Structure 1
Amino acid sequence: MNSDSLILSQLSETGVLRLTLNDESRRNALSEAMLNQLQKVISDVSEDPQVRVVILAASGPAFCAGHNLKEMTAGRAAEDQGRAYFARIMQLCSSVMQSIVNCPKPIIAEVKGIATAAGCQLVASCDLAVASTEAKFSTPGVHIGLFCSTPMVALSRNLSNKHAMEMLLLGDMVSAERAAEMGLVNRVVPEGVLQQVTQDMADRIASKSSKTLAIGKRAFYVQREMSLSDAYEYASAVMVDNMLESDAQEGIRAFMEKREPKWQD
């Protein structure tokens, strides 16, 4: 993509696609245009056999400042005071977040700077997250009379209830270290090594069978919404089907023969 695009992309030899939010002047806010581009690129990634893992990063000092409030405020000029427009934007944003979860490729957020409101939701929606020591997170809607209800969906599925409510009710900035304690991010590293650490993690995942990763990612999110007994029944069926896949047969054979597996994906 060219440098004027809202999202830049770069594919490594290992099949790791780096997507970079590229609207630095607006702190990479999730404008309608940004959401539409993100929706399209995630859809394309899902069908691209060359892509094995995705890193979602951002240019500039902010990862993502949430929705574009100037754009949202302009929507109030409509006769319905913006109701239809707000509904469309919320549906679009929710669709993007679900696309990330439903994408068969693992997606890792690489966070430096701030990730606030829907930007924090974006981090929580990714499968993994690595943050720099300078990163900060918040759901500050309560400060402006707007509870972060849609970010709440992603937060409540990543954090304990009390940690999620702490962020939602107080709206305070949370340090990267505190975010790791809460379970919002996996690792916190110095900014100077952030990209390398994230890339190394992505490369390790990319070395696995992409078919196996897709099976596992889908199963994780499906079983999470089930009761314990239903989850075990579902996961057991997934394991049976997985055992019959060619990559599982090759992987087990390679382990027993003490050699590297050759994935067919």
Structure 2
Amino acid sequence: MPCDRSDRRGRSRLLRRGDIKAGADGGPFVQDPADPDHFAGRLFETIQACRKPTIARVNGVAMGAGAGIICACDLAVMADHARIGTPEVKVGLFPMTIVPPMMRVLPRRRLMEMFITGVPLTAEEALQFNLVNYVTDAAGLDDKVAELVAQIAAQSPSAIRLGKYACHAMEDMTYPQQMRFAETLLPRVAQTEDAREGFDAFIAKRKPEWTGR
């Protein structure tokens, strides 16, 4: 699923729907009980299905779904004044829909502490626990994101696309299954135009010209 502007607008609308508001019954959610497809699940599935690298730019307070989005992205850069937390327990809730992406990033004990205390992480703590890749001051946030984008853009689009696909597919496999999958996928990667161009450029000691095919 491509990550175009319409996707970003849709995710923005989904995030606004995640605000805690009282429904007609006084509860915190408004949802059709006959519809098992929750909007938050679609949000995280959209991020995971994106074939391009995703970078979370954190420049404020990222609570609840915001914390989950950060973990769902491939990379994350955070301003030193920002905070990341899961405060749902403070209003009698538990952040069910963000558990899957956060479990894939944070150690279990740290994750459980966030969930059951509701205490947010500082930027320094988020970096220490590998929740984000980099922490900068607010003035340098966009420069760091731009630096990462430039580094990614210089690489083979097809290698990144197939690599993301492989990493996501292997997450829930056993180790032997992961090895068999990798062995099967490697020849496919090597047969791409980008792989041939990359090898030719390496031999010729020149900069490769990627086609993304």
Q: Is the CA contact 1:139–1:151 (under 8 Å) kept in the aligned structure 2?
A: no
* Closer, same or farther: CA 240–95 of 1 in aligned 2, 3 Å: same
Q: 1:30 aligns with which of 12, 15, 26?
A: 15
1:147 corresponds to? 94
2:128 and 2:100 map into 1 onto residues whose CA distance is: 19
| Structure 1 residue aligned with 2:50 | 103
Residues 176, 188 of structure 1: 8 Å contact kept: yes
Equivalent of 2:69, from 122, 140, 164?
122
Structure 2 match to 1:84: 32
Structure 1 residues 85, 195: CA separation in 2 closer, same or farther (over 3 Å shift)? farther
Following superposition, the deviation at residue 74 of structure 1 comes to 2.7
Amino acid at match of 2:19: N
Contact 2:197 2:210 survives alignment (8 Å): yes
Among residues 171, 194, 200, which one is paired with 2:147 in the alignment? 200
Q: 1:100 to 1:83 in 2, by over 3 A?
A: closer
Relative to structure 1, is the Cα distance of residues 107 and 22 closer, same or farther in structure 2, using a 3 angstrom cutoff?
closer
Task: Give the CA deviation at 1:21.
Answer: 10
Give the Cα–Cα distance (whole angstroms) in 1 for the partners of residues 63 and 202 of structure 2.
Answer: 44
Match of 1:260 among 182, 191, 207: 207
Matched, 1:217 2:168: no
- What one-letter code is carried by the residue in structure 1 that aligns with 2:16? S
Q: Judging changes above 3 Å, is the alpha-carbon distance between structure 1 residues 222 and 132 closer, same or farther for their aligned structure 2 residues?
A: same
Q: Name the structure 2 match of 1:68.
A: 19
Aligned to 2:32, the other structure's residue is in SS state helix
What is the CA-CA distance between 1:155 and the residue it aligns to? 0.8
The amino acid across from 1:76 in the alignment is: D
Aligned to 1:168: 115
Mark the runs of 5 or more structure 1 residues left unpaired by the alignment. Answer: 1-8, 10-18, 33-66
Q: 1:91 to 1:22 in 2, by over 3 A?
A: closer
Amino acid at match of 2:173: M
Cross-structure match for 1:241: 188
Query: CA distance change for structure 1 residues 233 and 215 in 2, over 3 Å: closer, same or farther?
Result: same
| Deviation at residue 107 of structure 1 after TM alignment | 0.5
Which residue in 2 is equivalent to 1:133?
A: 80
User: 1:22-43: per-residue Cα shift (whole Å, max 9, x none)?
Assistant: 98xxxx98123xxxxxxxxxxx
Q: Distance in 2 between matches of 1:21 and 1:137?
A: 23
Does the Cα contact within 8 Å between 1:76 and 1:82 map onto a contact in 2?
Answer: no
Q: CA separation of 1:181/1:21 partners in 2, compared to 1, >3 Å: closer, same or farther?
A: farther
Tell me, yes or no, if the aligned pair for 2:11 and 2:43 is still in contact at 8 Å: no
Q: What secondary structure does 1:137 align onto?
A: strand
Moved over 3 A (4+): 19-23, 75-78, 85-88
Report the CA distance shift for 1:252/1:76 in structure 2 as closer, same or farther (over 3 A): farther
More strand by share: 1
